[in-house]
Amino acid sequence: DVVMIANLLIMVIIGGYETFVSRLDLDNHPDQPEWLSHVNAGVLKIKLSTAIIGISSIHLLKTFINAGNLPEHTIKWQVIIHVVFLLSALAMALVDKLMNQTVLLSKH
């Protein structure tokens, strides 16, 4: 979990700076992250939501392993929260896809 969160923070900080503040001009630099060349706000949202879903999945698996020691309502609410994360990520991906199609259609 900690490594996923650390990687996520690095991606959001660097990608957010690159997208909203200024270009980093790392072309042909050996340490340039490969994902930085195609990052935008939509990509950052999708990466953030998939990381949250991954962390939620790991936590939910831990809950299922310890299900005998936990109250039923705790398990139910954790599953509901996980499903909400999934649905919101799906909605964000769908909106991003629709926006990209709209941009492509407007160019033609």
The predicted-structure confidence for 24-59, as pLDDT tens digits, reads as follows 666 676 666 666 666 666 777 777 788 888 888 888
- Summarize the confidence of residues 55-76 as an average pLDDT: 89
Round to whole Å and give the CA distance between 37 and 27.
9
CA distance 67 to 78: 12
Average pLDDT over all residues of the chain = 79
Predicted local distance difference test score (pLDDT) of residue 24: 66
Count each helix (H run) and each strand (E run) in the chain, helices first: 3, 0
When pLDDT is averaged across residues 66-89 and rounded to a whole number, the result is 91
What would the mean pLDDT of 101-106 be, rounded to a whole number? 72
Query: Do residues 44 and 12 lie in contact, with contact meaning Cβ atoms separated by under 8 Å?
Result: yes
